[in-house]
């Protein structure tokens, strides 16, 4: 009997260690992804952005498709709209856009934007707020990935208001076995999440998010595709039901920064 108790105890400890290891593996992949996000200014790419307005039953009410390209502009990087709903911009639209971009570049030089990543430390709570279980291996983009599924950690107390959202999500994450990079993420909200104590709005259950990343030919891990489908009730008055899908292509390193004369 004593031997049986010791075996059971050892198995319990092993299970606990597995959960901790799972959490740290996912935490490491999240930190890698956050670090890459801070380096996005170093790369140029093209994005195909599809925005769909949805009916209450989930059917598509309307759809717009925009193609945007990140281009260097001397010491800055700008995003140009190059196509909308399958049509290239007219000469007049291009002229107006270039003027807007010129003014925005001048403004950026005067007042550099504060990195938004400094405000997203609440995401660091995600691994601690979730109970993470390993679910096997799968192939993603020709590479093997570890699959983990997650749900809220019982009894976890969020340190920030935003992190309380983790109490109402579940999903799966794929971690590249070789590089430890997050290669796919699926998140579902299974209960309503209040925004601003419910005064600003409520994100309804059923909202979901999917994202895929891969190691591109230039040797960099970067997004390939993502989609968010949400139902947001704004200030108890208006409902927004939308699906936004993004595809990335033509990823390349940003060329050396072109220096400008003082006072430009």
pLDDT at 194: 83
pLDDT at 209: 96
What tens digit of pLDDT does each residue of 224-262 get?
Answer: 999 999 888 876 667 889 999 999 999 999 988 765 554
Least confident span in 77-91, 120-134, 237-251: 120-134
| pTM of the model as a whole | 0.84
pLDDT of 2 higher than 70 = no
pLDDT of 8 higher than 50 = no
| Angstrom distances, CA of residue 66 to CA of 59, 79, 105 | 20, 12, 22
What tens digit of pLDDT does each residue of 146-174 get?
Answer: 999 999 999 998 888 888 899 999 999 99
The stretch 85-103 carries a mean pLDDT of 96
- Higher-confidence residue of 128 and 257: namely 128
pLDDT at 260: 53
CA angle, corner 26, sides to 18 and 41, nearest 5? 165
Alpha helices by DSSP H, the chain: 2-38, 91-110, 126-129
Q: How far apart are CA 19 and CA 153, in angstroms?
A: 11
The stretch 114-128 carries a mean pLDDT of 69
Mean pLDDT across the chain: 86
The stretch 92-111 carries a mean pLDDT of 92
DSSP string, 160-228: STGGGGGGGEEEEEEEETTT--EEEEEEEE-S-EEETTTTSEEE-TT-EEEEEEEE-TTS-EEEEEEEE
The token duo for 252 is: 């390349």
What tens digit of pLDDT does each residue of 173-211 get?
Answer: 999 999 999 999 999 999 998 876 555 678 888 999 999
pLDDT at 114: 58
pLDDT of 119 higher than 70 = no
pLDDT of 10 higher than 80 = no
Q: Where are the domains of the chain?
A: 6-38+122-253
Q: Please state, for a pLDDT cut of 70, what percent of the chain lies above it.
A: 84
pLDDT of 14 higher than 90 = no
pLDDT band at 122 (very low <50, low <70, confident <90, very high): confident
């Amino acid at each position: 009997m004593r031997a049986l108790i010791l075996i059971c105890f050892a198995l319990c400890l092993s299970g606990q260690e597995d959960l901790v290891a799972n959490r740290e593996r996912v935490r490491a992949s999240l930190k890698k992804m956050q670090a890459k996000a801070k380096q996005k200014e170093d790369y140029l790419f093209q994005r195909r952005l599809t925005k769909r307005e949805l009916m209450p039953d989930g059917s598509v009410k309307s759809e717009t498709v925009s193609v945007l390209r990140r281009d260097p502009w001397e010491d800055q990087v700008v995003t140009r709209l190059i196509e909308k709903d399958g049509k290239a911009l007219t000469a007049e639209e291009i002229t107006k856009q270039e003027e807007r971009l010129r003014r925005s570049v001048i403004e950026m030089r005067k007042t550099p934007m504060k990195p938004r990543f400094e405000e997203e430390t609440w995401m660091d709570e995600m691994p601690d707020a979730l109970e993470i279980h390993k679910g096997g291996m799968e192939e993603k983009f020709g590479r093997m990935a570890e699959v983990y599924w997650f749900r809220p950690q019982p009894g976890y107390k969020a340190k920030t208001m935003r992190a309380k959202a983790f109490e109402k999500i579940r999903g799966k994450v794929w971690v590249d076995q070789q590089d430890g990079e997050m290669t796919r993420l699926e998140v579902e909200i299974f209960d309503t999440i209040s925004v601003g104590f419910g005064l600003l709005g409520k994100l309804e259950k059923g909202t979901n998010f999917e994202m895929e990343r891969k190691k591109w030919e230039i040797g960099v891990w970067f997004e390939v595709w993502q989609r968010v489908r949400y139902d947001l009730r704004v200030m108890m008055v208006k409902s927004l039901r939308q699906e936004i899908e993004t595809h990335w292509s033509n990823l390349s390193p940003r060329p050396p920064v072109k220096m400008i004369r003082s006072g430009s």
